[in-house]
Amino acid sequence: MMNISYTVATVCLVLNTLVLALAHFMANAPVWAFSVIPVGLLWWYGQKRNWKGLTHVVFLIYVAQSVHGIFLGASLVLMSISLTASLLVWDLDFLHLRLQRAEHVINRDEIVQRHLKRWQNMAVLTFMLVAVALSAEFELDFVWIVLIALVLASFLGK
């Protein structure tokens, strides 16, 4: 089961890299598209070698590339998929690390299975919300922005 989480993480990483490269390619930025691949390889190698600090750095690079893609005019759907996949890989890396650090784990399979199930539901919810956000039109006024900022600040304090 441990291998399943690792396999899922690797598949998501490959998919994420391909999606991000494709989106950049479609936005007529082939140089940026190719630049995604070495970063993906670095993340994959870091996973294999258990480089703990690398995962945060590479995750941030992926997010930065997604944002950059938006500015280049890349597809928003592809970027959302890429960002969700990045989050998933980042989280599975952390799960892998937690399980490894504990050494003695009881119900290991159950932990991994539950985690993947949770992610399945979260991914579905994310894509539904993105679809709703794309189809509907919202107008954000100053009150909403202040409210969102306050909610975010409260997360830091907790």
Which residues contact other proteins (rule: CB under 8 A)?
56, 59-60, 63, 66-67, 70-71, 76, 79-80, 83-84, 87, 91, 94-95, 98-99, 102-107, 110-111, 114-115, 118, 122, 125-126, 129-130, 133-134, 140, 145, 148-149, 152-153, 155-156, 158
CB 83 → other proteins: shortest distance, Å?
A: 5
**Which element (helix H / strand E) includes 155?**
helix 142-157
CB 67 → other proteins: shortest distance, Å?
A: 7
- Name the residue nearer to other proteins (CB basis): 14 or 99: 99
The torsion of the CA quartet 36, 38, 43, 48, rounded to 10 degrees, works out to 150
CB 33 → other proteins: shortest distance, Å?
A: 19
- Name the residue nearer to other proteins (CB basis): 3 or 121: 121
- Name the residue nearer to other proteins (CB basis): 11 or 129: 129
CB 64 → other proteins: shortest distance, Å?
A: 9
- Name the residue nearer to other proteins (CB basis): 49 or 158: 158
At residue 18, the 3 state secondary structure works out as: helix
DSSP 80: H
Cα-flanking dihedrals φ and ψ of residue 84, to 5°? -65, -45
User: Do 134 and 76 touch, CB atoms closer than 8 A?
Assistant: yes
Query: 76-102 and 2-26 helices cross at what angle (nearest 10)?
Result: 150
Query: Which distant-in-sequence residues (6+ apart) come within 8 Å of 21 by Cβ?
Result: 33, 34, 36, 37
CB 153 → other proteins: shortest distance, Å?
A: 8
User: Do 76 and 70 touch, CB atoms closer than 8 A?
Assistant: yes
